[in-house]
């Protein structure tokens, strides 16, 4: 029976340990494979012993993965925080654009819906402010953390957790704000039933909001999942 391919097993372990960043995992796998094959070929021992020595000299696969974890996860978390800030800007511009359009079209809520409209607007405004402040704080915090440490040690792990939690916390009121915008727009459309040419602009702006919030939510969820995946890696 052919003995197990030690290099392949080692590379599979390394790839799994780097699953929090698939492109990075493939790049590192190729680099490590090239190095190990060259080291094994340069040895005068048998193939099996040469592979074992090359792997032993290179180091534990999970420890190698932890060397890449800090910068990768900090970058992902920083990107998530930036997406919250960008989504906040998109929501703000979309809201202002709708209000300007309503004014231009002289399109207001009917009297019997004005009270409900005020409540929805208050919820929307409060949620938007909370989302923007939390998102900006999270982005600034994790950006500063990236300059402080590039080691996947206990302080770095704490910064990552806090940065991800701030992004998650910001996404919740952002979803509330986008929902409130959708409800407010639906109230106007179903109350007045304007021509498609008039309703198209606010409906399009809502679609843009939903798209950006969805992208933000997916990115934050992915970052959270990848942070949890890397939590078992040894500290550096």
Residues 39 and 112 in one domain: no
* Domain encompassing residue 20: 6-59
pLDDT at 107: 83
Euclidean distance between CA atoms 174 and 130, whole angstroms? 8
Residues 55 and 163 in one domain: no
Residues 47 and 116 in one domain: no
Reply yes or no on whether the pLDDT at 139 is more than 60.
yes
pLDDT at 3: 39
The answer for residues whose C-beta is within 8 angstroms of residue 79's C-beta and 6 or more apart is: 219, 223
Task: Answer whether 220's CB lies under 8 Å from 83's CB.
Answer: yes
Is residue 17 a part of any domain in this protein? Answer: yes
Residues 121 and 183 in one domain: yes
Query: What's the structural domain count of the chain?
Result: 2
Mean pLDDT of the chain: 85
Euclidean distance between CA atoms 154 and 231, whole angstroms? 10
Mean pLDDT confidence for 152-170? 88
Residues 111 and 174 in one domain: yes
* Surface-to-core class of residue 171, CB atoms within 10 Å of its CB (0-12 exposed, 13-18 middle, 19+ buried): buried
pLDDT at 207: 94
For the chain, counts of helices (H) and of strands (E):
7, 0
Is residue 1 a part of any domain in this protein? Answer: no
Structure tokens at 27: 């790049």
Task: Answer whether 146's CB lies under 8 Å from 185's CB.
Answer: no
pTM for the full model?
A: 0.80
Is residue 236 a part of any domain in this protein? Answer: no
Residues 200 and 130 in one domain: yes
Residues 44 and 90 in one domain: no
């Amino acid at each position: 029976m052919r003995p197990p391919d030690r290099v392949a097993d080692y590379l599979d372990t390394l790839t799994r340990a780097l699953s929090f960043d698939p492109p990075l995992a493939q790049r590192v796998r190729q680099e490590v494979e090239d190095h190990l094959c060259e080291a094994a070929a340069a040895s005068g021992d048998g193939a099996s012993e040469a592979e074992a020595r090359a792997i032993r000299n290179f180091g534990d696969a999970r420890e190698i993965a932890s060397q890449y974890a800090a910068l990768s996860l900090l970058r992902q978390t920083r990107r998530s925080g930036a997406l919250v800030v960008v989504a906040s800007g998109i929501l703000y511009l979309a809201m202002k654009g709708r209000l300007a359009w309503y004014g231009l079209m002289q399109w207001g809520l009917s009297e019997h819906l004005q009270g409900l409209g005020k409540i929805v607007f208050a919820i929307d405004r409060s949620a938007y402010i909370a989302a923007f402040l939390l998102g900006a704080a999270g982005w600034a915090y994790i950006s500063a953390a990236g300059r402080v440490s590039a080691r996947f040690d206990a302080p770095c792990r704490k910064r990552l957790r806090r940065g991800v939690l701030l992004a998650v916390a910001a996404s919740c009121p952002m979803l509330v704000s986008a929902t409130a915008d959708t409800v407010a727009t639906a109230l106007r459309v179903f109350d007045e039933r304007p021509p498609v040419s008039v309703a198209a602009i606010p409906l399009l702006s809502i679609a843009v909001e939903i798209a950006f919030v969805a992208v933000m939510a997916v990115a934050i969820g992915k970052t959270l999942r990848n942070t949890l995946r890397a939590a078992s890696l040894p500290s550096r």
